[in-house]
Amino acid sequence: EAQVTQNPRYLITVTGKKLTVTCSQNMNHEYMSWYRQDPGLGLRQIYYSMNVEVTDKGDVPEGYKVSRKEKRNFPLILESPSPNQTSLYFCASSLGPTGVGEQYFGPGTRLTVT
Amino acid sequence: AQKVTQAQTEISVVEKEDVTLDCVYETRDTTYYLFWYKQPPSGELVFLIRRNSFDEQNEISGRYSWNFQKSTSSFNFTITASQVVDSAVYFCALSVADRGSTLGRLYFGRGTQLTVWP
């Protein structure tokens, strides 16, 4: 089944404790993105990747890191999480450019930073 | 700068009513794409439609229709004869594709929560 998977689905952590949210797609898609969703703010793009080893910033990259060492994986790294990073995070992938084609979204990761 | 405005935060209708969700966008680029995504209560995000800036033809898909008007920078979404299953948050989004764009950026509006009552 074609899908985007994220792990973990739920995470509660403390300020400053490094964490990684994994994202994997099995559709051989070139483009992948991370978004955060906050009440009243909609979805905001954090980072995106056009291919292996090629990434670029979105609207809200501060406090986040990404890497794309393999085509199928695009982990989101929070080196020192803070409470303002409490949010719902979505990973997405698309065969063509993010801004052109249909994106397939993962189920979301709800992160709480205390 | 690119911007998408969905002025309607919440809309409530009764089943079988028609409802229109507004989307206004801002960009100076001449080549761009517009999208609608649906997020039902279960939380997943589902692609509904994509339009490019050179195609102003309206589109109809079953009970859904989209009206793209460059003159007013709007890309509105109408649900005819709404059903309870249409209850969801709907997001409008914009990307730009003029020279120099990596085509990787996508700008979402803040979403409209549609509730359809039985």
**Closest CA in chain B for residue A42:** B110
CB-nearest to A100 from B33, B44, B109 is B33
DSSP code at position B2: -
The 10 Å Cβ neighbour count of residue B40 is 14
Q: What SS3 state is found at A46?
A: strand
B46-61 burial, b at 16+ Cβ within 10 Å, e below that, comes to ebbbbbebeeeeeeee
Residues of A with a Cβ under 8 Å from any B Cβ are 31, 33, 35, 40-45, 48-50, 56, 58-59, 88, 90, 92, 96-105, 107-108
- Beta-carbon contacts of B53 under 8 Å, excluding residues fewer than 6 positions away, are B29, B30, B31, B32, B33, B34, B70
Q: How far is A24 from chain B (nearest CA, A)?
A: 16
Q: How confident is the model at residue A96 (pLDDT cuts 50, 70, 90)?
A: confident
- Beta-carbon contacts of A106 under 8 Å, excluding residues fewer than 6 positions away, are A3, A4, A5, A6, A23, A90, A91, A92
pLDDT digit string (tens) for chain B, length 118 residues: 899 999 999 999 999 999 999 999 999 988 899 999 999 999 999 999 999 999 888 889 999 999 999 999 999 999 999 999 999 999 999 998 766 666 788 999 999 999 999 9
Q: Which tens digits make up the pLDDT trace of A27-63?
A: 999 999 999 999 999 999 999 999 999 999 999 999 9
